[in-house]
Structure formats: C-alpha cells, structure tokens
C-alpha cells in the first residue's frame, strides 16, 4: 500500500488566503508538510502562516496572482528557495461571477472567472511542469480543485460551472500528457461547502430546495475534504492519475 505519510513534503497551495486553501494549509502542515501559501491578499496569508507556525508547523506566505505568468514564476521561485522543490502543487485559487445566467454576464465576468479558474490553473501547472522537466526531477503531483458543477448542470452559475467543466477536462488531458514525466494529475470535486465562493447560493432563498437534492441532507464541511485530499497529495494515490474524486454527500447521484 502507498503511504499516506506526507512528512517533509513541500506542498504549494494557490488561493490559500481563505476558504479551502486556508484550511488545507493547516491540515497539511499539521501532518508535517512544508506548505507554501499563495494568494493576492498577503495580509491574510501572513495571519495563517503565523497560526500554523504557532502550532509547530512549517509554512511561508507568498504574493501570487494566478492570472499573471510572471507572478506564478515568482511564486514558484520564492517558494522553492524557501522549502526546496515543490512535491505537490494544489491548484485551488478560484472565483465566481455571482448568481448570473449566460445572458446576464458580460465579457468582464467571463474573463475574470476563466482567467482565474482555467487559465490560472493551466499557467501554474505549466510553470511547475517546466521545473520538473528542466531540473530532471523524478516526478511531480498536481491536484486540481474542481467542483461537481463540472458534470451536473445548474442555472445561474455561469461561467463558474463552465470553468469547472474545463478544469476537470484539463485534469484528464494533463494526466495523459504528463505521465511520461511521472507527474500525476488528479482533481478533487467537492460538492457544496459554505465559503465565500458558495455563500451566494447557500444563503439564498433557494437553499432549502437545494438541500433536498443532497442524499445525505447536509452541506459539506471543510473536514469532509481532509481524507480525500490526503489521498491525492500522498503516495497512497500512487497509481491514480486523471481521476476526479467527488466529495459531495451523494449530490451528483441525486434522484431525478
């Protein structure tokens, strides 16, 4: 059996200033990983890093805008100077455009969501893969944070749902292409968990109706993602690539 031990691993997380990324940083540091936190709101990263260090973990904050290739390279450079080669990259940074349909959004909404969720994840993966190839590393591991909106349709989350469809497809195609460098690429696809991204929907008047579609009749909590995340970042998933691990209380197999 592959090991779940991640002691000493360098794990870089994009979008670690709030929500999932903020949570993941603490979970992974508590298990002995050295965690690089990237996001635009550096004050929030600083606060999270202080918490992690106080708890005895190793972490460092780095300014990052995933819409900008130079910023991505600077993030990877600085984090590798601090903790050495990145063992696992978690492409978690993500935004949404509010509760809008395709005819309500404008080009700025489209570009904002696509540039962050799709182009950002691609650019960051590309920069990381170049390191693995150019430095002749033995391999790598990329974890995408997709969503169950990648496969199930929903009104009023355009272009977010479209972007997550692309993130899942990108995971599969990249897995195929990156296997020759021993880089695994998998995705975690959470259902609905209350964070800044999902608040608009989960606190709206549609929420009770929405809950009925979840077989387990509750939203997810951050901790529900910890086991599946640990699987993907560790050698326990050593024979997994191109997989999408759904964590949603059964939501995507909800009854018609």
Ligand X SMILES: NC(=O)c1ccc[n+]([C@@H]2O[C@H](COP(=O)([O-])OP(=O)(O)OC[C@H]3O[C@@H](n4cnc5c(N)ncnc54)[C@H](OP(=O)(O)O)[C@@H]3O)[C@@H](O)[C@H]2O)c1
Q: Give the footprint of ligand X on this chain (CB under 6 A).
A: 14-21, 39-41, 64-67, 92-95, 116, 120, 145, 147, 190, 192-193, 195-198
**Chain residue whose CB lies nearest ligand X:** 19
The least distance separating ligand X from the CB of residue 27, rounded to whole angstroms, comes to 13
Tokens of 48: 């999270």
Residue with smaller CB distance to ligand X, 93 or 162: 93
Q: Please list, in sequence order, all residues whose beta carbon lies within 8 angstroms of the beta carbon of residue 248, skipping any fewer than 6 positions away.
A: 148, 189, 190, 191, 192, 214, 220
- Give the whole-angstrom CA distance, residue 103 versus residue 48: 39
- Give the whole-angstrom CA distance, residue 249 versus residue 155: 20
As a residue count, the chain comes to 256
Choose, from 102, 128, 160, 219, the residue flagged as catalytic: 160
Residue with smaller CB distance to ligand X, 95 or 132: 95
Residue with smaller CB distance to ligand X, 75 or 83: 75
The least distance separating ligand X from the CB of residue 89, rounded to whole angstroms, comes to 13
Which residue in 14, 193, 242, 21 sits closest to 116, CA to CA? 14
Burial class of residue 200 in the structure, from the number of CB atoms within 10 Å of its CB (0-12 exposed, 13-18 middle, 19+ buried): middle
Known catalytic residue at 128:
no
Residue with smaller CB distance to ligand X, 71 or 234: 71
Residue with smaller CB distance to ligand X, 41 or 131: 41
Helix axes 160-178, 120-134, angle to 10 degrees: 20
Q: Which residues are designated catalytic?
A: 160
């Amino acid at each position: 059996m592959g090991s779940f031990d991640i002691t000493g691993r360098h794990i870089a997380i994009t979008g670690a200033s709030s929500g999932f990324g903020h949570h993941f940083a603490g979970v992974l540091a508590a298990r002995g990983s050295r965690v690089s936190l990237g996001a635009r709101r550096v004050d929030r990263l600083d606060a999270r890093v202080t918490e992690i260090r106080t708890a005895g973990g190793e972490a460092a904050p780095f300014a990052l805008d995933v819409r900008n290739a130079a910023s991505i390279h600077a993030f990877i450079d600085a984090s590798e100077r601090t903790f050495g080669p990145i063992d696992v990259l978690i492409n978690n940074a993500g935004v949404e455009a509010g509760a809008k349909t395709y005819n309500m959004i404008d080009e700025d909404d489209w570009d904002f969501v696509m540039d962050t969720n799709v182009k950002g994840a691609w650019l960051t993966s590309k920069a990381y893969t170049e390191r693995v190839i150019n430095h002749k590393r033995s391999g790598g591991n990329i974890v995408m944070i997709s969503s169950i909106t990648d496969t199930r349709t929903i009104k009023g989350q355009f272009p977010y749902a479209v972007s997550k469809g692309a993130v899942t497809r990108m995971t599969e195609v990249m897995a195929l292409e990156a296997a020759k460098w021993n880089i695994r690429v998998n995705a975690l696809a959470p259902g609905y968990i209350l964070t800044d991204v999902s608040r608009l929907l989960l606190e709206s008047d549609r929420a009770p109706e929405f809950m009925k579609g979840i077989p387990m009749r509750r939203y997810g909590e951050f901790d529900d993602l910890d086991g599946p995340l640990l699987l993907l970042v560790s050698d326990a998933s050593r024979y997994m690539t191109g997989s999408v691990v759904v964590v949603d209380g059964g939501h995507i197999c909800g009854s018609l």
